[in-house]
């Protein structure tokens, strides 16, 4: 059983790294942001409650977030462990979490703000099928058109410069300080997130004592 938290500013690549760990080690990847986006896209009651907050890049109230994480973990479908992405984001969420769960390690991906800003402002999303693009790292063959479904590519509504700045401020003021809380309870690995995703993944595995390559079946 492996229980990890992955932390880093938006655009630090933590979702990509979490996805790679999930695939090879059969972990459940729990992204609170993905849960909110799914609810917004599918017009659920929860989606309606959080739509404006998420679009503005603000933090959703802790009680709601805690409840979502609790009910997700209560499904107990994580036989091999889980990786939490985007939670906890502040001290009350971290304290709530530590009351019930323990953790093996916190993976902390470090990327300078200027690089985060550049990466996020070049993100695009297909309005048809939802596929992610990045105008720096993963360009479509035809500008603004999805390679797969030919849908129009649009920025995420919460990827405006103001919203990104707000999220970065929140990250430094509220999220980074919780590393101190975890430092007494779990291993913290600080990882330079400015390299290629494969190099980053290799370092994470080395630092966590995980095998570097695994032939786990696709799930
Ligand atoms: P993310 O995909 O992690 O960037 O999350 C997208 C948005 O969902 C954030 O900007 C917040 O509005 C909301 N959100 C995600 N995780 C949390 C959290 N742990 N606490 C509060 N709001 C969150």
Name the residue range of residue 171's domain. 2-112+158-208
Compute, in degrees rounded to 10, the torsion defined by CA atoms 183, 66, 50, 126: 60
138 in a domain, yes or no? no
Contact present, 69 and 82 (Cβ < 8 Å):
no
Alpha helices in 129-196 (DSSP H): 161-170, 178-183
Q: Considering the domain boundaries, does residue 139 fall inside one?
A: no
Residue 148 forms part of a structural domain: no
pTM recorded for the entire structure: 0.85
Asked whether residue 134 is domain-assigned, the answer is: no
Q: How many CA atoms lie within 13 A of 40 on its CB side?
A: 16
Distance 97 CA to ligand 1 centre (A): 16
Q: How far is CA 90 from the centre of its chain?
A: 15
Q: Is residue 40 part of a domain?
A: yes
How many separate domains does the chain show?
A: 1
**Residue 174 CA, ligand 1 centroid: distance in Å:** 13
Q: Look at residues 109, 107, 84, 110 and name the one whose alpha carbon lies nearest to residue 97.
A: 84
| 95 lies in some domain | yes
Judge whether 106 lies within some domain.
yes
Domain CATH code at residue 72: 3.40.50.300
Is there a domain that residue 123 lies in? no
pLDDT tens string, the chain, 219 residues long: the values are 999 999 999 889 999 999 999 999 999 999 999 999 999 999 999 999 999 998 887 889 999 999 999 999 998 889 899 999 999 999 999 999 999 898 999 999 999 999 999 999 999 999 999 898 989 888 999 999 999 999 999 998 878 898 899 889 989 999 999 999 898 887 899 999 999 999 999 999 999 999 987 554 444
Best residue for ligand 1 mutational test, from 17, 32, 120, 170 (most atoms within 8 Å of Cβ): 32
């Amino acid at each position: 059983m492996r229980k990890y938290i992955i932390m880093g500013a938006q655009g630090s690549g933590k979702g990509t790294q979490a996805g790679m760990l999930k695939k090879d080690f059969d972990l459940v990847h729990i992204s609170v942001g993905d849960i909110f986006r799914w609810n917004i896209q599918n017009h659920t009651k929860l989606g309606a409650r959080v739509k404006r907050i998420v679009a503005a890049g603000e933090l959703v109230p802790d009680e709601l977030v805690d409840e979502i994480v609790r009910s997700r973990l209560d499904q107990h479908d994580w036989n091999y462990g889980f990786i939490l992405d985007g939670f906890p984001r502040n001290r009350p969420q971290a304290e709530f979490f530590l009351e019930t769960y323990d953790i093996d390690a916190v993976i902390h991906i470090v990327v300078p703000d200027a690089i985060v800003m550049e990466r996020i402002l070049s993100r695009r999303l297909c309005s048809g099928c939802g596929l992610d693009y990045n105008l720096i790292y993963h360009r479509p063959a035809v500008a603004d058109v999805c390679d797969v479904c030919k849908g129009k590519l649009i920025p995420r509504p919460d990827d405006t410069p103001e919203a990104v700045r707000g999220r970065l401020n929140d990250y430094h003021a509220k999220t980074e300080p919780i590393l101190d809380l975890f430092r007494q309870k779990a291993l913290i690995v600080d990882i330079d997130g400015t390299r290629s995703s494969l190099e980053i993944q290799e370092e994470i595995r080395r630092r966590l004592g995980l095998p570097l390559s695994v032939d786990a079946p696709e799930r």
